[in-house]
Amino acid sequence: MADYTAELLSDESGLCDIRITQDGKKKHMWGRSGRDRESALAKTLEAGRIPLLLGSGIGIAADLLAEQKDRPLLILDCEADILARTMLREKYRDDPNVIWITTSSAEEAAGQINELSDSFDMAIQPLRIPFYLRISPFYTQTETLLIRETGRKAEFPVWPKFQNSKPRILLLTSQYFLMGEIVSACERQSIAHMLINMDARELELEHFIGRIASAIDTFRPDFVLTVNHLGVDQEGVLNTLLHKFRLPLASWFVDNPMLILPLYRAQADSNTTIFTWDADRMDSLREMGFSNIFHLPLGTDQTRFLPSKGCTEPRWARNISFVGNSMVHKTARRLEAARLFGPLLERWKEIAEDFGGRSEPSVLNFIRSDYPELLPHYEALESPYRKLAFETLIIWQATLEYRLSCVKETLPYSPLIVGDDGWKKLLEEDGQWEYHRELSYYEDLPRFYPCSKINFNCTSQQMKGAVNQRVFDVPACNGFLLTDHRYQVERLFEPGKEIAIYHSPEEIPELIERYLHDEESRLKIISAARKRILAEHTYDSRIAGLIKCMRQTYA
């Protein structure tokens, strides 16, 4: 199954360890430290259920479970190298109560286990030995298939959806900042909602499905809402469960969905509605198989970004400031994750520079059109995670170069740059600026923005047509914004009247000079922008629009 070698170690007490070596490195040592874990695992068995060990380890759990003669013991383990050293198969060869499943196919394993469950007329209780989950995805895949089969056999209540003027929303929460704004918007509009804190990646699958099913059955929502697909498992357990309840899923993407959804391509169906902050992504989402797609831009929380009567923090008072990430560290992390080799490693900076100068939002489409000779090397990355890491690397590097070129145009005006310490590396030879560590989005920025005569903005290259959060937040708290042109901004504001825009880095100095010395124009634009934001671009408006789309699609 997995590419490794195994050793069995022991000491005078007779206790054993299994040491695994992968790629010449000793990555896992488990056994002695896992004795208590295995023992506790065996004691979690529920009455009337057949224990299924996902891996056999050194046999502690198997020994304890095999003593219970009122039910069989199933052991899923196809790690021949380990079994040859533990000799557990030989130990239980003559025990009719111990049944081994050794196929290396998750589908075949799940099929055999389900047949055994039916023949004994008892439900299965999977018992994980975490060590095995680390050396091969086979065990998690098998467990996922078993849980899906359990879901097919269970009965799920179904109720009419969207029967009232205001829906009931189950919020699948994460640590992403936007969920707090969604909760507040629901509360202000008296929209019934339940916030469930969970993450499919951190919970055992059976626990995950149990908590979700219980929340759905108790709260009886009209739909489930998540941000950036967070909390949705790649194996499709949640998707299967929602289908059973005939409960639609709304996923609001406020980051590039094409760097996330390729891992969920198999789950694209009419039960999922995608909302994207970037209208440029809608065609790509349709190509992936999603049929219900809506444009839903970012907005602001008008109760957090309140208008001020000026700068209340003199230490932040400046003519011009910029708040944003340098992308230095983000780029380095994606380069490491992509593990590039050959021409991609040699030319990724060249690709990023060219990508930044094109209107094409998709890195993959850009490679196909402008670097077709590199497409086989992209495909050679094989893992979807490495491919997405490469695509993200190109976007982040393009953002770094574009952002740096724009920020350098502000240096003659001694800007205050707020962000990560990567800026010190990028601008180490430029002395006409001040650095400030990152500020709190909630606690600091509503007070920071009004302290600059000009809040400078340059958008990430992950959105070549859409606008970012600052376009809404800065005017909402009476700050003036000078931002780069994105064509979708014209659907949201009237340029020149409600927003100040530069179309190229070369225009930046002239506009800075103009607005630094024209307070009246700054105040007029701030007032007009804030009026438009309160009327159309709050998160209250966004949630109302999302609900309208869900009702039209599923009522």
Give the DSSP letter string of 82-126.
HHHHH-HHHHTTT-TTEEEE--S-HHHHHHHHHHHHHHHT-EEEE
Tally: H helices and E strands in the chain: 22, 19
- Which residues are CB-contacts of 489 (< 8 A; sequence separation ≥ 6)? 467, 471, 483, 495, 499, 501
Residues 474/444, Cβ–Cβ less than 8 Å: no
Residue 313 has a CB neighbour count (10 Å cut-off) of 12
Residues 390/331, Cβ–Cβ less than 8 Å: no
Predicted pLDDT at 29: 41
Could you give the CA distance from residue 333 to residue 347 in angstroms, rounded to a whole number? 17
Residue 377 has a CB neighbour count (10 Å cut-off) of 19
Residue 123 has a CB neighbour count (10 Å cut-off) of 12
Q: Structure tokens of 248?
A: 């639609």
Residues 293/286, Cβ–Cβ less than 8 Å: yes
The position carrying tokens 């077709």 is 372
Residues 338/393, Cβ–Cβ less than 8 Å: yes
Could you give the CA distance from residue 59 to residue 334 in angstroms, rounded to a whole number? 40
Nearest 10 degrees: CA dihedral of 387, 388, 393, 399? 140
Q: What is the pTM of this model?
A: 0.76
Residue 335 DSSP symbol = H
Could you give the CA distance from residue 250 to residue 61 in angstroms, rounded to a whole number? 42
Predicted pLDDT at 219: 93
Backbone angles phi, psi at 17, to 5 degrees: -120, 150
Predicted pLDDT at 204: 60
Could you give the CA distance from residue 482 to residue 34 in angstroms, rounded to a whole number? 58
Could you give the CA distance from residue 541 to residue 538 in angstroms, rounded to a whole number? 5
| Average pLDDT, 10 consecutive residues per value, the chain (555 residues) | 48 44 49 48 66 86 84 91 88 91 90 88 82 80 77 72 95 78 95 81 63 88 95 84 93 93 89 96 93 97 89 94 98 96 97 96 96 96 92 98 97 97 93 94 95 97 95 97 97 97 97 97 97 97 98 95
Give the DSSP letter string of 375-407.
HHHHHTT-SHHHHHHHHHHHHHHHHHHHHHHHH
- Which residues are CB-contacts of 243 (< 8 A; sequence separation ≥ 6)? 271
Predicted pLDDT at 11: 41
Residues 146/154, Cβ–Cβ less than 8 Å: no
Exposure of 80 in the CB half-sphere (CA atoms within 13 A): 4
Residues 224/245, Cβ–Cβ less than 8 Å: no
